[in-house]
């Protein structure tokens, strides 16, 4: 494992922990898109079904279990424990416009037409757009809490580092995965506007707002 993948994994884990701590400490999920969190739970579930069929390493298995557990814990906090604080009026992105096309694309473009491979491909495509309901929610409310922007920053950093990881693996290992790379590029592009605002506003102590 190279440093870029390890740092990417840690950035991803940091994002998840930041979000969970934010919800738990404030006893509120205000400003958090429940729909994005459901999509991420779907991403991890469909991607890590191989937990039932294969073992790669203790690190790999541990991270997969943590991702799945944290994803469903977040969904539980939003839709059950702190449901009264969930802002459903602004979390209105039509997720079926993401899930249905992504599902169709996974059937058409994959490495191998087998159930686990199609589900893995589906998860890669879906993860690239799963943050859209959250960004859409911020654009509707006009601004985001600082802690929420930190969550988004680390989530975007994770994808950017994974892109570098794919480039590293291509040059030093001869490994090339077009599906993962294209999806990673799409996801990183979605974060570009947010990254700019994060650096120019949030890091200077100002509130972040996205154009409506």
pLDDT tens digit string along 175-195? 888 898 888 888 888 887 777
Q: Look up the domain containing 93 and give its range.
A: 1-200
- Across-strand partners of 208? 144
Predicted TM-score (pTM) of this structure? 0.90
Which of 171, 163, 203 is closest to 187 using CA atoms? 163
Overall domain count for the chain:
1
Q: Flag whether 116 is in a domain.
A: yes
Q: Flag whether 12 is in a domain.
A: yes
Percent of the chain with pLDDT over 90: 63
Across the chain, mean pLDDT equals 89
More confident residue, 33 or 159: 33
Q: DSSP states of 47-73 as a string?
A: H-GGGGT----HHHHHHHHHHHHHHHH
Q: Flag whether 209 is in a domain.
A: no
Q: Flag whether 69 is in a domain.
A: yes
């Amino acid at each position: 494992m190279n440093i870029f993948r390890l740092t990417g994994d840690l950035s991803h884990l940091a994002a998840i922990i930041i979000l969970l701590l934010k919800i738990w400490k404030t006893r509120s999920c205000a400003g958090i898109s429940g729909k994005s969190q459901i999509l991420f739970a779907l991403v991890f579930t469909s991607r890590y079904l191989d937990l039932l069929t294969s073992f790669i390493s203790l690190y790999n298995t541990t991270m997969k279990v943590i991702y799945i557990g944290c994803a469903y814990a977040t969904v539980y906090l939003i839709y059950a424990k702190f449901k009264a604080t969930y802002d459903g009026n602004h979390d209105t992105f039509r997720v079926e416009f993401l899930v249905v096309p992504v599902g169709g694309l996974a059937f058409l473009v994959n490495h191998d037409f087998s159930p686990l491979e199609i589900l893995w491909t589906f998860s890669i495509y879906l993860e690239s757009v799963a943050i859209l309901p959250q960004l859409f929610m911020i654009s509707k409310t006009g601004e985001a809490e600082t802690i929420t922007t930190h969550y988004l920053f680390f989530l975007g950093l994770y994808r950017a580092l994974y892109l570098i990881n794919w480039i590293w693996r291509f040059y030093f290992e001869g490994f090339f995965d077009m599906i993962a790379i294209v999806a990673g590029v799409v996801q990183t592009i979605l974060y570009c506007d947010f990254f700019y605002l994060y650096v120019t506003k949030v890091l200077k102590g100002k509130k972040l707002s996205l154009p409506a």
